[in-house]
Structure 1
Amino acid sequence: MARVLFVGGLGRSGTTLVERLLGELPSVRALGEVVHLWQRDIRDDERCGCGARFSACAFWQQVGERAFGGWGTVDVDRIQALRDAVERTRHIPRLAAASLPPAQRAEVREYAAYYAQVYAAAAEVSGAAVVVDSSKHSALAHVLRWADDVDLRVVHVVRDARGVAYSWTKTVARPETDGAEEMTRYSPGRSALLWNAHNAAFGLLARRGVAVRRVRYEQLLADPRQALRELAAYVDLPLTDADLDFLGDGHADLTVGHSAAGNPMRFRVGRVPLRHDDAWVRALPRGQRRLVGAVCAPLLRAYGYPLNPAAPQEA
């Protein structure tokens, strides 16, 4: 049974950074956002985190061979149909129930089985004790709860909703498309609603008996060594001080990874600064900060964030 660490949370919350740091630990293989593997990699042949096209990446080709006898045998249309049927945020209340109707349970388990096969093959090919899926999607985490052959542990990454809202307003090119496409953008109001929905869904997952550990993005950056020690213990992974030598004073030295899809940061190699990005405090207009703060107030309070952070010019 594959031991899977699922990194969840709303995009722009630091999930890719968490995945990259975890991927530097011994006996851990970070896979990127597996939820996008079917379309972006198998069909569109986008670039792996190592820089090679998916079809030319030796690691992923071995995974496909072990999991399915080759990626060419995978019925992507069937997987996408199952995704539309079961892996949507609106389906979470049903997925979180104590039981499912037989027909729906069969679809959920069939869909989850594709992921379980990828996880098991990736662990076998890499020799890792833990594989990391940074798909983020709360609905997928709820689906994986129903898989019989996945040892699921969830890391719920949260970041101040106002910082997330500001990040979603930025224009970011997708390197996989050589700059021809940009990543999705949301208005602050839209991102606030999504922040509430996704984070609440991970809270519901914990109440259904799934192991969920919350990590605040800001605390991770304040003490990455301690955060990684705690996450390693969470997945029963022995860790020594030497295993964290890739972390320096305010930076991490990252090696080449094999993230299948995700944030452009998955292509970064070498020294990467670890600094708290609080540009939103100055750059997000006051009215938008107040809007997001009001919409997200209950969860902001629950996660320990101040409701009225003052920008420097207002202090």
Structure 2
Amino acid sequence: MVRVLFLGGLGRSGTTLLERLLGELPGVCPLGEVVHLWERDIAGDERCGCGSHFSDCEFWRAVGEKAFGGWHHVDVWRVLALRQAVERTRYIPRLASVRMTAAQRLLVEEYADWYARLYEAAAVVSGASVLVDSSKHAALAYCLRYAPSVDLRVVHMVRDSRGVAYSWTKKVSRPETDGAQEMTRYSPSRSALLWNAHNTAFSVLHRCGVPVQRVRYEELLESPSSTLGAIASFAGLTPPDVSFVKNGTAELGPCHSAAGNPMRFTVGPVPLRRDDAWRTALPGRQRRVVSALTAPLLGVYGYRGAR
């Protein structure tokens, strides 16, 4: 079986930073947001985290050959059609239920098998014992339960909803498009509703037999070494060497993260400090709206006293 550490949660919660840090641990290979690889990389030939276009990246070329005999053998539109048919947030109750019809289950298993074949090839090419998929989508995590060759373990990344809401309002260029496109933006109220939906889905995933470990963004930044050690233990790794983290800075090497936040292109020293700009930059009315909409889960996750 191939062991996959799936990073889940709503975007702008720190999953890319966590993926990059985990990628520095021995025996770990970060793959990026594999959920977007089919359209953005195989079909769109966007840039890999190493800087090369996907079609020119030796790592991904080798993975494609091992998994499918070459990426040209992948029916991207079939994968995307399956995604629309089975991997949607509204389908999570069905994916979590034992009452799924035989026809539905066949579609889910076919969809999960595309990922399983890719994971297995990436494990061989990289020689890693643990792969990191930072796709974040809760519905995908539920689908991956149906891939018997995948040892799925989920890290549920949580960040204060107000920090997430503020981050979604900011303009962020996508460097892989040479600044021609910006990342998606949401209104604070919209991001608050998404924050509730995504985090609730991951909070109950363990009931389906999937190991889940919750990590708070704020704790990762306050105690990166101990947090990484706990996640490594959860992933079944020996106590890791975290000497790349010193004095509040992490030294990051190149990676082959296929899609995701622009931070995947970052190489060199990265300051590990919390981004709490929302406390002053998010207008008071918007902050109160987000607080009200997310109040129950804020308390569950230990943010009750935050203002």
TM-score (normalizing by structure 2): 0.99
Structure 1 residue 308: Cα displacement: 4.9
5+ residue gaps in structure 2?
Answer: none
Amino acid across the alignment from 2:286: Q
Cα RMSD of the aligned pairs, angstroms, is 0.7
Structure 1 residue 239: Cα displacement: 2.2
**Runs of 4+ in structure 1 over 3 Å off:** none
Contact 1:34–1:260, Cα closer than 8 Å, also in 2: yes
Cα distance in 1 for partners of 2:141, 2:218 equals 23
Instruction: Find the residue that maps to 1:287 and give its secondary structure.
Output: helix
User: 2:119 maps to which residue?
Assistant: 119
Cα distance in 2 for partners of 1:251, 1:170 equals 24
Structure 1 residue 207: Cα displacement: 1.6
User: 1:139 maps to which residue?
Assistant: 139
User: 1:72 maps to which residue?
Assistant: 72
Aligned residue pairs total 307
Cα distance in 1 for partners of 2:149, 2:242 equals 30
Cα distance in 1 for partners of 2:306, 2:259 equals 36
User: 2:98 maps to which residue?
Assistant: 98
Matched, 1:207 2:207: yes
Structure 1 residue 100: Cα displacement: 1.7
Identity %: 67
Q: Which residues in structure 2 correspond to 1:251-266 (within 5 Å)?
A: 251-266=249-264
Cα distance in 2 for partners of 1:147, 1:67 equals 15
TM-score (normalizing by structure 1): 0.96
User: 2:302 maps to which residue?
Assistant: 304
User: 1:188 maps to which residue?
Assistant: 188
Cα distance in 2 for partners of 1:307, 1:223 equals 20
Cα distance in 1 for partners of 2:9, 2:247 equals 27
Structure 1 residue 306: Cα displacement: 2.7
Question: Could you report, residue by residue, the CA deviation over 1:137-187 in whole angstroms, capped at 9, with x for unpaired residues?
Answer: 001001011211100000000000000000000000001100000000000
Cα distance in 1 for partners of 2:10, 2:229 equals 23
Cα distance in 1 for partners of 2:206, 2:286 equals 31
Contact 1:4–1:152, Cα closer than 8 Å, also in 2: yes
User: 1:224 maps to which residue?
Assistant: 224
Instruction: Find the residue that maps to 2:209 and give its secondary structure.
Output: coil
Cα distance in 2 for partners of 1:146, 1:99 equals 14
User: 2:277 maps to which residue?
Assistant: 279
Structure 1 residue 258: Cα displacement: 0.2
5+ residue gaps in structure 1?
Answer: 310-315
Cα distance in 2 for partners of 1:252, 1:89 equals 34
Cα distance in 1 for partners of 2:41, 2:305 equals 41
Cα distance in 1 for partners of 2:296, 2:49 equals 37
Cα distance in 1 for partners of 2:101, 2:114 equals 21
Contact 1:96–1:204, Cα closer than 8 Å, also in 2: no
User: 2:43 maps to which residue?
Assistant: 43
Question: Could you report, residue by residue, the CA deviation over 1:204-229 in whole angstroms, capped at 9, with x for unpaired residues?
Answer: 21122110000000000000000010
Question: Could you report, residue by residue, the CA deviation over 1:95-152 in whole angstroms, capped at 9, with x for unpaired residues?
Answer: 0112421000000000000000111100000100000000000010010112111000
Cα distance in 1 for partners of 2:122, 2:148 equals 18
Contact 1:300–1:307, Cα closer than 8 Å, also in 2: no
